[in-house]
A and B are shown apart, each in its own frame.
Chain A
Amino acid sequence: MKIINDHRIINTNYPHNKNEFSKVVKKLYKDNQKMIILGGGTKAKYGNPIDSPSHTVFTSELNKVIDYNPSDLTVTVESGMKVEFLMNLLSENNQYLGYILPNKKLSSIGGSTAYGYSGNYRFNDIHIRDSIIGIEAINYNGDFIKSGGQVVKNVSGYDLHKLYIGTQGSFGPIYSISFKIYPKPNYDTRVIFDFENYEDVLNIIKKYLHLNWNIPRLSIYSTNKFKRKLYRLFCNISGTKNAVDYIKKSITKDIKLNNGKLEEINNNINMSVNLDDFGYNLKDEQLSIRILSSKNSDFHHIINYFENCKLNFQLLVNPSIGSISILIENNDSILSYIDEIAEISQLNNYRIIIDYVNLSLQNKLRNKFKNNDNQPIKNLTALLKKNYDPQNLFSSGKFI
């Protein structure tokens, strides 16, 4: 048996076109075969492992643009298209998705959709769940199901496409995806400030958080690798030149008042931290988790915990998104640390997502982080799975 990205694979399939894709899915389903759909395969290590050996259907040959007229500000592509390809295509017309999907070289659009995470750069709080305006999916009979469309406003029938975003393939394969897209801002500048005190950096965040039209990234980075306690604020300011200059000036002034220090101002910084891909492309001994708050939280409990524990960590707080991404070097007693992190999260009503973990840890962590969904949501989710995947063959065990 082959192992791909830690998955036990019975067989691999590479459909070359829409019809082949549906035929493969139909046949596997009819034969009662479990299947996992992979784009770049980059997120296969994310979340739970699939629960039994599966067939893999790779979408990498399904990578065409189906419809793109820049003046419509929408684009429809096949799900196997690489993120970078789409970004470049849009960029040629000075357009973008409004967010930067992580791991763009390897990730596919379909995989990113199924994973549902839009990264830590967001123009106007736009994220993949809201920017997808239509999906064509394949059901267990191999039939195509259309939901949404290629227009930016649409209340025609149910938004079935929402089922496929963030559910890791549990309801079936996605063939094509339509996005609402945006003109790129004329300027996008990065500014970096250092603070010694977490409270000080939070003051800045509070003041500028609402400007996410113009500040698509406002992230605080910290690590025990810094020689002293330090919080590095990464700020992307975007918009017209006038707006960018205005905000940069205002923020720089406020930083001084809050004991911050300008680290660098440069439009082309070679940063030691890869913000776009934070938590991706990890080594086997690394673990990456994301903690989400259900309120606008400053995560100071988590910050305190990491500052006082013995783990090697890097973390990125994204207050506008309500999340903190943490990269931990695996060490022998990681499981007891994880228990403590789970406890703090439980107490603060945070939710933990395992973004990346190696196989040996994956199974051990499986039930560590309780998901506090209420009973009606659990019941509805189970009913959806039963109806859209009656034999439990799509991404089995991955998320439900």
Chain B
Amino acid sequence: MDISQSLNKKIIDIVGKDFVFADKQDMVVYESDGTHDKGMPDFVVLPRTTEEVAKLVLLANEFELPIIARGSGTGLSGGAVPVHGGLVISLNRMNTIIDIDVDSSTATVEAGVINLEISNKASEYGLFYAPDPSSQHACTIGGNIAENSGGPHCLAYGVTTNHVLAIEVVLPDGEITWFGDFNKEVPGVDFRGLFIGSEGTFGICTKVVVKLLQKPQDVKTMLIAFSSIQDAANATTAIIGAGIIPAAIEMMDKTASDAAEEATNAGIPKNSGAVLLIEIEGFESDINDQGKLISDVIYEFNPVDIKIAKNDQERDLFWKARKGVLGALGRIAPNYFLVDGTVPRTKLSAVLSEVSTLAKKYNLIVANVLHAGDGNLHPCILFDQQTPGDTDKALKLGGDILKVCVENGGVLSGEHGIGYEKRDYMPLLFSEIDLNNMKILKNIFDPDGLFNPGKIFPVE
């Protein structure tokens, strides 16, 4: 029996033969995530329990095999791509909502639970889980933790780290432990905080305790069209500057909003320069006050059309258009490369102008989709990988956009992580000393470097 066969047998002993894949054709879907990066794993395994995960980790250690945790593979930085092969541990079977504790407004769930399912279950008690990535119908809470994911409503509520109280983790040496507590001010190292956003390089998260919030009494959703993207960006900055924090301020430029409208018929005004989707929540009286304030502020930026969702169906449709926009862009070009920079909110307008100049320089279409309230921009570079040279051009343009973000006081990733795709841009933001100090941290958690190798750090 060769090594691979003996390993296969040992894996089967842990999880059973139905939950291991070793044939290439069975593993094709595990080769990539939401990006174009690819890497064929040696094995894909779907454990059911934390103990099985721990045994698999020990086994991988024994065979010095890279370990890549995987949720739903919706990641947008190549994070779950096994670029050095290895054992892909897919958490999809660990998908039980273990407990909803109404008294303490918390949910305990397994890491493979889909984000939206937490809110669906919690809604039976009038509660919801706030971080809502646009991929929330598909992505897992484990993936959200690894990427510290955000979403439209994170403007008011904060991102994943603000809502996760504790996580059960299988460490790279196979130990199982909990990080975090109900109380976030326990003195000592905040391992919970360090783990969130570590992109699967510190261990595998197997269970999570999240905070739930009470559903707001009332919601108002507005779709506001502007004649230019600059007006929309400046209106965003002005709203925040006026001390108003709506639940969400999302932006789509003309290319994006036209595509979204074609796909959904949500009623987005056509041919406007950009639209803002603004949602306000709270007590009924608050909402009216805030709505009025927002109308006053945006008035200065020449809105060309304002629509207010008349009912839940219309609201859902507005959101469907926004959350499905990446898919809708497939109508324009078969491939996209999504950039994920964050800049200080006051820099939005200037950075978007530079993005537009760069798009012209590279002769590529860029559709801008933004979590505008947070300064998180997603220029979506559209291209056709069948056209020779276009993929390279798109990647180069993406790199140039990230440079612009950093030059404007921003960062390389707001919510998708560095992963494989952006690792070589890290020196734009961090000095060698900064990177070395991050490597020290990686080495403390994972001295053998088996967890998700080839991610975050630039190739030396």
Interface residues of A (CB under 8 A from B): 47, 69-74, 94-95, 116-118, 124-127, 129-130, 139, 143-147, 149-160, 162-163, 165-168, 182-184, 206, 209-211, 213, 239-240, 242-243, 246, 292-296, 321-323, 351, 353, 371, 373-377, 380-381, 383-384, 387-388, 399
C-alpha gap A183/B375 in the complex (Å) = 17
Kindly list chain A residues whose C-beta atoms are within 8 Å of the C-beta of B442: 158
C-alpha gap A167/B154 in the complex (Å) = 28
Give A322's nearest chain B residue, CB to CB: B183
Kindly list chain A residues whose C-beta atoms are within 8 Å of the C-beta of B412: 156
C-alpha gap A144/B285 in the complex (Å) = 49
Give A371's nearest chain B residue, CB to CB: B188
Kindly list chain B residues whose C-beta atoms are within 8 Å of the C-beta of A47: 187
Q: A130-B193, A163-B189, A321-B183 are in contact. List 15 more A-B contacts (CB 8 A).
A: A47-B187, A70-B241, A74-B344, A151-B375, A160-B441, A163-B190, A163-B441, A165-B193, A166-B189, A211-B214, A240-B285, A240-B289, A292-B181, A296-B182, A373-B188
Tell me if B185 and A157 are in contact (CB < 8 A).
no
Given contacts A73-B240, A154-B414, contact A147 B434 (CB under 8 A): yes
Tell me if A145 and B434 are in contact (CB < 8 A).
yes
Tell me if B177 and A377 are in contact (CB < 8 A).
yes
Enumerate B189-209 residues with CB–CB distance to A below 8 Å: 189-191, 193-194, 196-199
Kindly list chain B residues whose C-beta atoms are within 8 Å of the C-beta of A162: 189-190, 193-194
What total of chain B residues lie within 8 Å of the partner, measured CB to CB? 87
C-alpha gap A138/B183 in the complex (Å) = 28
5 residue pairs of the A-B complex, CB under 8 angstroms, read A130-B162, A151-B375, A153-B150, A159-B193, A384-B189
Cβ of A95 to closest chain B Cβ, rounded Å = 8
Kindly list chain A residues whose C-beta atoms are within 8 Å of the C-beta of B199: 155
Task: Mark interface residues in B282-298 (1 if CB within 8 Å of A CB, else 0).
Answer: 11011001100000000
User: Does B274 have its Cβ within 8 Å of any Cβ on chain A?
Assistant: no
Cβ of A29 to closest chain B Cβ, rounded Å = 15
C-alpha gap A184/B183 in the complex (Å) = 25
User: Does B244 have its Cβ within 8 Å of any Cβ on chain A?
Assistant: yes
C-alpha gap A147/B433 in the complex (Å) = 11
User: Does B460 have its Cβ within 8 Å of any Cβ on chain A?
Assistant: no
User: Does B161 have its Cβ within 8 Å of any Cβ on chain A?
Assistant: yes
Kindly list chain B residues whose C-beta atoms are within 8 Å of the C-beta of A387: 440, 443-444
C-alpha gap A73/B237 in the complex (Å) = 10
Enumerate B117-176 residues with CB–CB distance to A below 8 Å: 147-148, 150, 154, 157-159, 161-162, 171, 175
User: Does B105 have its Cβ within 8 Å of any Cβ on chain A?
Assistant: yes
Tell me if A156 and B345 are in contact (CB < 8 A).
no
Kindly list chain B residues whose C-beta atoms are within 8 Å of the C-beta of A129: 184-185, 190, 193
Tell me if B190 and A153 are in contact (CB < 8 A).
no
Kindly list chain B residues whose C-beta atoms are within 8 Å of the C-beta of A182: 245
Tell me if B243 and A94 are in contact (CB < 8 A).
yes
Kindly list chain B residues whose C-beta atoms are within 8 Å of the C-beta of A143: 433
Shortest Cβ-Cβ A-B pairs, 3 listed: A296-B104, A183-B243, A242-B285
Kindly list chain B residues whose C-beta atoms are within 8 Å of the C-beta of A374: 177-178
Tell me if B184 and A295 are in contact (CB < 8 A).
no
Q: How many A-B residue pairs have CB under 8 A?
A: 225
Kindly list chain A residues whose C-beta atoms are within 8 Å of the C-beta of B105: 209-210
User: Does B339 have its Cβ within 8 Å of any Cβ on chain A?
Assistant: no
Residue in A127, A139, A160, A166 whose beta carbon sits within 8 Å of that of B187 in the complex: A166
Kindly list chain B residues whose C-beta atoms are within 8 Å of the C-beta of A125: 211
C-alpha gap A292/B187 in the complex (Å) = 10
User: Does B48 have its Cβ within 8 Å of any Cβ on chain A?
Assistant: no
Enumerate B297-349 residues with CB–CB distance to A below 8 Å: 342-346
Residue in A130, A371, A388 whose beta carbon sits within 8 Å of that of B184 in the complex: A130
Kindly list chain B residues whose C-beta atoms are within 8 Å of the C-beta of A211: 214
User: Does B431 have its Cβ within 8 Å of any Cβ on chain A?
Assistant: yes
Cβ of A141 to closest chain B Cβ, rounded Å = 8
Tell me if A155 and B286 are in contact (CB < 8 A).
no
Give B425's nearest chain A residue, CB to CB: A156
Enumerate B410-456 residues with CB–CB distance to A below 8 Å: 410-418, 426, 429-431, 433-435, 437-438, 440-445, 456
C-alpha gap A113/B415 in the complex (Å) = 25
Residue in A166, A168, A377 whose beta carbon sits within 8 Å of that of B185 in the complex: A166
Tell me if A153 and B415 are in contact (CB < 8 A).
yes
Kindly list chain B residues whose C-beta atoms are within 8 Å of the C-beta of A243: 282-283, 285-286
Give A137's nearest chain B residue, CB to CB: B437
Task: Mark interface residues in B69-90 (1 if CB within 8 Å of A CB, else 0).
Answer: 0000000000000000000000
C-alpha gap A61/B213 in the complex (Å) = 42
Given contacts A71-B237, A156-B413, contact A383 B103 (CB under 8 A): no
Cβ of A188 to closest chain B Cβ, rounded Å = 14
Given contacts A145-B433, A151-B375, A384-B444, contact A323 B183 (CB under 8 A): yes
Tell me if A167 and B286 are in contact (CB < 8 A).
no
Kindly list chain A residues whose C-beta atoms are within 8 Å of the C-beta of B244: 183
C-alpha gap A398/B113 in the complex (Å) = 40
Tell me if A157 and B182 are in contact (CB < 8 A).
no
C-alpha gap A145/B413 in the complex (Å) = 19
C-alpha gap A340/B430 in the complex (Å) = 50
Cβ of A239 to closest chain B Cβ, rounded Å = 7
Residue in A145, A149, A155 whose beta carbon sits within 8 Å of that of B147 in the complex: A155
Give B149's nearest chain A residue, CB to CB: A155
Tell me if A151 and B344 are in contact (CB < 8 A).
yes
Kindly list chain B residues whose C-beta atoms are within 8 Å of the C-beta of A118: 185
Give A71's nearest chain B residue, CB to CB: B241
Kindly list chain B residues whose C-beta atoms are within 8 Å of the C-beta of A213: 282
Tell me if B344 and A69 are in contact (CB < 8 A).
yes
User: Does B186 have its Cβ within 8 Å of any Cβ on chain A?
Assistant: yes
User: Does B371 have its Cβ within 8 Å of any Cβ on chain A?
Assistant: yes
User: Does B376 have its Cβ within 8 Å of any Cβ on chain A?
Assistant: yes
User: Does B374 have its Cβ within 8 Å of any Cβ on chain A?
Assistant: yes
C-alpha gap A144/B163 in the complex (Å) = 30
C-alpha gap A371/B189 in the complex (Å) = 13
